[in-house]
């Protein structure tokens, strides 16, 4: 599908210079420009590519003054070219979306399940008893929805997702391929003879509206009650969320992070890649935890930036790191003095 420069300018509140009737069908990097594409220029390091671009439409800032003619047939000026990119990406993603309806081949859907208007269930998927799939939601092939699962409207469940019984996912969510929602929490008690006895996990997982769950991430069901992912949370690939964890609104959890059982993460936090958070930890709103940090005690005070293991204020961590990385020099100096 092709989109005209006029339509794009209206969407991003831009001003057209050149031919408003040209159309594009994709978006491309400025250094990988091609005919039929729209590219954006925001970083001065890439200005050299601007003057030999092959793209049909170029998006630039209103304040930018080019040093040479821009060869693109159409230029659209906006207040913030880089800030307009998410809108463009969303536009082209919507255009390419298939929005399938109905059922694929070899699906197994319980007679008691309720499938909303315009929803889709892909081939080789299983939909259990009393499942509810909201209007316009897409369940792609090879997915499993256990009994009493509820999915809101316009949610996308990508291929191979497994959602265990009684879990609930809100509207306008995205769950990427092979994520597992509602597997048992990791709970065992030690018996008198030293064996590990499994503790039944009878809770569920609740994911509120506008959330995104990355590929191969796992969100464990609660021992009792619910593991709760609040509205607007974004979870990257390969993340482990343990039983009875609660994550506040609009928090971001980056790849390979792990959050242990019963921890409570506040709203608008950023949990960096490979961060480890111990069990029963409380982290207040607005906290940023830098990559590979380890949090083993409650965090006091909102809006802090933490790094290192055990995690401390980032500025303190960097000061300590300067000392740490120079310890070998002190040791070498001491040995040299001893030799004399």
Residue of 13, 176, 243, 328 marked active site: 243
C-alpha count within 13 angstroms, C-beta hemisphere, residue 117: 0
Burial class (CB in 10 A: 0-12, 13-18, 19+), 331: exposed
C-alpha count within 13 angstroms, C-beta hemisphere, residue 298: 7
CA angle 207, 212, 215 (to 5 degrees): 110
Nearest to 310 by CA among 275, 286, 283: 275
At residue 252, the 3 state secondary structure works out as: strand
Identify whether 243 is a catalytic site residue: yes
Alpha helices in 22-173 (DSSP H): 47-50, 81-96
Q: Angle, to 10 degrees, between the axis of helix 327-339 and the axis of helix 314-325? A: 30
Q: Are strands 162-163 and 144-145 parallel, antiparallel or unpaired?
A: parallel
Number of H helices, E strands in the chain: 5, 40
| Active site amino acids | 243
């Amino acid at each position: 599908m092709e989109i005209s420069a006029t339509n794009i300018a209206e969407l991003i509140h831009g001003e057209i210079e050149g031919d408003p009737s040209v159309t594009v069908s994709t978006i491309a990097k400025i250094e990988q420009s091609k005919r039929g594409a729209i590219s954006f220029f925001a970083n001065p390091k890439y200005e050299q590519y601007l003057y030999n671009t092959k793209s049909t439409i170029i998006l630039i800032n209103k304040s930018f003054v080019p040093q040479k003619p821009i060869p693109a047939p159409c230029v659209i000026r906006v207040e913030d070219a880089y800030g307009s990119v998410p809108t463009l990406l969303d536009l082209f993603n919507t255009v390419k979306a298939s929005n399938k309806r109905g059922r694929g081949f070899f699906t197994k859907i319980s007679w008691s399940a309720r499938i909303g208007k315009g929803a889709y269930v892909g081939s080789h998927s299983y939909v259990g008893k009393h499942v509810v799939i909201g209007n316009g939601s897409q369940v792609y092939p090879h997915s499993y929805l256990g009994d009493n699962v509820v999915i809101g409207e316009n949610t996308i469940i990508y291929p191979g997702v497994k959602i265990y019984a009684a879990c609930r996912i809100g509207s306008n969510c995205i769950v990427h391929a092979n994520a597992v929602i509602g597997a048992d929490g990791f709970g065992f008690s030690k018996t008198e003879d030293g064996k590990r006895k499994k503790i039944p996990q009878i809770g569920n997982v609740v994911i509120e509206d506008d959330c995104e769950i990355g590929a191969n991430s796992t969100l464990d069901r609660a021992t009792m009650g619910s593991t709760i992912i609040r509205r607007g949370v974004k979870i990257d690939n390969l993340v482990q969320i343990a039983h009875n964890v609660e994550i506040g609104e609009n928090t971001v959890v980056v790849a390979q992070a792990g959050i242990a059982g019963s921890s409570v993460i506040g709203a608008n936090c950023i949990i960096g890649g490979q961060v480890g958070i111990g069990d029963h930890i409380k982290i207040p709103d607005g906290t940023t935890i830098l990559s590979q940090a380890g949090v083993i005690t409650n965090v006091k005070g909102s809006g802090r930036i933490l790094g290192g293991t055990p995690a401390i204020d980032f500025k303190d961590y960097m000061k300590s790191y300067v000392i740490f990385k120079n310890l070998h020099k002190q040791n070498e100096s001491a040995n040299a003095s001893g030799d004399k």
